Structure 1
Amino acid sequence: MANIASQKKRILRSERERLENRRHTSAIKTQLRHLQAAVEAGDADGIAAAHTKFTSLVDKAVKSGALHRNTGARKKARAARLVAKAS
């Protein structure tokens, strides 16, 4: 454990930031599973809604810094390919 007060604060802050990043990435993974389930079910309305929600979550994660922008673009491209294959 750190002895310096500013380092103690930094440890606490980095833990909060790590948990925030985990919330973003976990929500993205969950929404991707919903999208895949909608594609397998063949529900056109469900696919559109899930894809919109997924891209929104990815964009928010990139904006907040939880994901690198190239990672976000890759995830969105893979999701778009999944949706296009279902159509």
Structure 2
Amino acid sequence: MANTPQAKKRIRRNARRAEINGARVSRIRTQVKKVELALDAGDKDAAQAALKQVQPELARGVAKGVMHRNTAARKFSRLTKRVSALA
């Protein structure tokens, strides 16, 4: 158990940040799933629209530190390749 006021504050802050970061990661995953669902349905217009929403979410995740930049780049690259291959 934390004894110092600083340690107690750190526990409160970490819990608050974990909740925010968890929500952010969840939002990114949801956006990625929307692109994948559109790809599975073969709907190129919906996939492109969803891809445009994914890119800023991934970039925001990297900027906020909840996702590694290479991971975000890889996800976006693979999704872009799949959307462009959908003819």
Relative to the length of structure 1, the TM-score reads 0.89
Number of residue pairs the alignment of both structures matches: 87
- Distance between the aligned counterparts of 1:69 and 1:41, measured in 2? 29
2:2 is paired with a residue of what secondary structure?
coil
1:46-65, aligned counterparts within 5 Å? 46-65=46-65
1:31 is paired with a residue of what secondary structure?
helix
Percent of aligned positions that are identical: 37
1:2 is paired with a residue of what secondary structure?
coil
1:16 corresponding residue in structure 2: 16
1:33 corresponding residue in structure 2: 33
In the TM superposition, structure 1's runs of 4+ consecutive aligned residues that sit over 6 Å from their partners are none
Contact 2:2 2:8 in 1 (8 A): yes
Deviations 1:29-61 (A, max 9, x none): 111111111112222221111001111110111
- Distance between the aligned counterparts of 2:73 and 2:56, measured in 1? 12
1:10 deviation in Å?
A: 0.5
Relative to the length of structure 2, the TM-score reads 0.89
- Distance between the aligned counterparts of 1:16 and 1:6, measured in 2? 15
1:6 deviation in Å?
A: 0.5
Contact 2:21 2:66 in 1 (8 A): yes
The letter of the residue matching 1:48 is Q
